Structure 1
Amino acid sequence: MPFKTFGAGDVLTAGDVNDYLMEQAVITCTSGTRPSSPGEGMTIYETDTDRIYTYDGTTWRVVVRLGAWVAYTPTVSPASGSFVIGNGTLLARYTLLGQAVCFKMKLTFGSTTTIGSGSSYSFGLPPVTRDTTVDDVFPAILIDSSASTVGYRSSSAFSFTTNDFGIILHEGSTGQFVGPTAPWTWANGDIIRVSGTYQAA
């Protein structure tokens, strides 16, 4: 509804309160107590999620998430076999800014990490479904900590589906996916780092 200018002596009706005051104010609620019949443009702040939402006429859209980045545990799926982190570490964080999802991930292989087998790994995105209209590409760095071959490889991660991504090496005419033994056999101290931004569905 449009903005209304009240004049001196105007009677404030129940409709005015419900429409102009309630719907055009930022309402404090929880994710379970959102207004049941929101008007387009209504804005709320959820105390249990620390998120500000605006109703676009069809659904609630995140405007911003306040506070610290949220930790999540990405899946790591080899083409065959299984991946078990063991004494390695898998750290990931994400945050929301409107429909943009920003994330970062660091996988450090340990001496007891089970790397799986096959030609590729897929890695889980944050628990916010990705819009698949256009594929997304994220920068990635691979670190080989072996004493004889210590070095870095620049590569690109790109989206597979709505919730995961793979990493492909820059070199080669056909492209090579990062997998349990590519570009080297992953071992204790090796690191994969990825960060990026994608559009939420």
Structure 2
Amino acid sequence: MAFETWQPGMILTEARLASISPTWQDWTPTWSTSTGANTPSLGNATVTARYAVAGTLVSFRLEIAFGSMTNFGGGGASDNWRFSLPVNAAASQLVAGFGEAQDTATGGTPSSARVPLRVRLENTSTLSLETMGGSTGAAGGYAATSAGLIDAVTPWTWANGDMLRVHGQYEAAA
């Protein structure tokens, strides 16, 4: 049932409650690039992708631990990563959530480098990830890092064990 705002005289039914009660469920994101070339693949990555819809509000969580068979694509800084949304959005959105990227090559958890991320809806069907500042280093310091949209070499050259963790919300398409 599509979401419909409450109107005077409406009757509470099981279907009506289901349409406004969020239920978390899995989704399988498609990983692509801004140009459509140099397509990456998850391989044996561990992916947790969950979302819930309440009315027209979509809440989501995406966590990826990249594996030894992950192909990060070869597009470099000119071919930004994109992930499909679980439900089409009403419009593109500059800020739809936040998260972090983690580079385990710098010493492993908990001493690995982490970079804050902003989730952007590039269009109504995909999200991209943008760095928001420097990284925390192995010694707990704050260091400069590559800025911009995430790709195969930003904010670092990705490798087995590196992670992405993001969450956010957006308005679903009608």
Check whether TM > 0.5.
yes
Equivalent residue for 1:156, pick from 105, 110, 118? 118
Equivalent residue for 1:78, pick from 30, 33, 37? 33
What corresponds to 1:168 in structure 2? 130
* 1:177 corresponds to 2:144: no
In structure 1, the gaps of 5 or more residues are: 4-23, 29-43, 53-62
Equivalent residue for 1:111, pick from 68, 71, 94? 68
Q: CA RMSD in A?
A: 2.5
> Residues 135, 151 of structure 1: CA spacing in aligned structure 2 closer, same or farther, 3 A cutoff?
closer
CA distance in 2, matches of 1:112, 1:2: 56
Aligned residues: 148
Aligned runs of 1:44-55 on 2, under 5 Å?
A: 44-45=15-16, 51-52=18-19
Contact kept, 8 Å, 2:101 with 2:164, in 1: the verdict is: yes
What corresponds to 2:137 in structure 1? none
Equivalent residue for 1:141, pick from 95, 100, 106? 100
| Sequence identity (%) | 28
Equivalent residue for 2:11, pick from 17, 25, 29? 25
Contact kept, 8 Å, 1:136 with 1:198, in 2: the verdict is: no
- Runs of 4+ residues over 2 Å off in structure 1: 24-28, 133-137, 147-150
What corresponds to 1:99 in structure 2? 56
Contact kept, 8 Å, 2:118 with 2:131, in 1: the verdict is: yes
What corresponds to 1:124 in structure 2? 84
> Residues 84, 160 of structure 1: CA spacing in aligned structure 2 closer, same or farther, 3 A cutoff?
same
Task: Tell me how far 1:78 sits from its aligned partner.
Answer: 2.8
Q: What amino acid sits opposite 2:122 in the alignment?
A: F
Higher RCO (C-alpha under 8 Å, 6+ residues apart)? 2
Contact kept, 8 Å, 1:138 with 1:157, in 2: the verdict is: yes
